[in-house]
Amino acid sequence: MRKLRPPFFLTGQLSKADGAEGKRVEILESHYEELIRRLDEIAKVLRANVIKTFGKTDPTHLSESLSAAEIIASLYFHHLRINPSDPLWDGRDRFILSKARAAPILYVALARAGFFRREGIENLRCVETNISGLPGVDADLTSPGRGLSVGLEIALQAKLSKKGFRVYVLLGDKEAQEEQIQETAFDAVQNKADNLTAIVDYNGAPVGSESFDIMGPEPMVQKWESFGWFVIEIDGHNIFQILYTLDEAARVKGKPTVVVAHTVKGKGVSFMEENHISLQITKLPPIM
């Protein structure tokens, strides 16, 4: 498992319009603090937008979105090579949300990034809504455990066609115990899918359970190491660690990388943090 150390640079994104296909730009160390402050603020805005947008229409799993705010902010507003004005750009990085209950934070992030207008996104959680054609959504997943398989397939297609984009898959910690995830993890190593990065949102609180005392995921890090993956363990709410880890993953050769990101379910909302029971909210407190 890799221990974090201060880097000399972080990578930033350039859009297709900037002529940056397959390229990244260095961010000087003097810009670290400004970048981290900006992404921290975006994470807070995403949390607020999740609650304001979905708090009344579908509040059941909001805490699953809140734990992933810094991860989503770091990906969509700095690290991913994407172009909202050309969402099907062939050179874009792919992001797969396997942790389907965190869909609200993906929707508000895509809207803020400019993939579509924010008006009406509260309807995206309706059962009859088909999101497969939604700009910025690379896969429509509902069954736990499928995301890593889809991500691996895309990553291998990229390697065979010699394309330079990378694939990122956000997993839930409970989901990481699915047999399909474990089978795919072995396949990814066998195929040397070094363009694939999995991120485990390890908030330690599966939906519908008060603890991991029974059938828990530990030892999470050792399990992924036994699969043969390059493993990095971080604080999933620390922007600096997230950015540096994503850069480290891009430098790993010959094997896929998994980031075990320790997070807090319901992060940012005091009465939701560490509450392991799905919440039914009828009246929301004012957002600061």
Contact of 189 with 223, CB cutoff 8 Å: no
Q: Examine residue 21 and state whether it is found in any structural domain, yes or no.
A: no
Q: State the residue range of the domain holding 211.
A: 32-262
Q: Examine residue 285 and state whether it is found in any structural domain, yes or no.
A: no
Spatial distance between the Cα atoms of 192 and 143, rounded to a whole number of angstroms: 26
**What dihedral do alpha carbons 264, 248, 24, 134 form, nearest 10°?**
-40
- Structurally, the chain folds into a number of domains equal to 1
Q: Examine residue 15 and state whether it is found in any structural domain, yes or no.
A: no
Q: Examine residue 279 and state whether it is found in any structural domain, yes or no.
A: no
Two tokens at 211? 């603890």
* pTM summary value: 0.81
- SS3 (DSSP) at 260: strand
pLDDT of residue 79 exceeding 60, the answer is yes
Q: Examine residue 4 and state whether it is found in any structural domain, yes or no.
A: no
Q: Give me the percent of the chain exceeding a pLDDT of 90.
A: 49
- SS3 (DSSP) at 178: coil
Q: Which residue has the higher pLDDT, 264 or 160?
A: 160
pLDDT one-digit tens code per residue, 129-159: 445 557 888 887 667 789 999 999 999 999 9
CATH number of 191's domain: 3.40.50.970
Q: Examine residue 274 and state whether it is found in any structural domain, yes or no.
A: no
Q: Which residue has the higher pLDDT, 283 or 236?
A: 236
pLDDT one-digit tens code per residue, 30-71: 567 899 999 999 999 999 988 888 776 655 567 788 899 999
DSSP 2: B
Residue 33 sits at the vertex; the CA angle it makes with 73 and 233, to the nearest 5 degrees, is 55
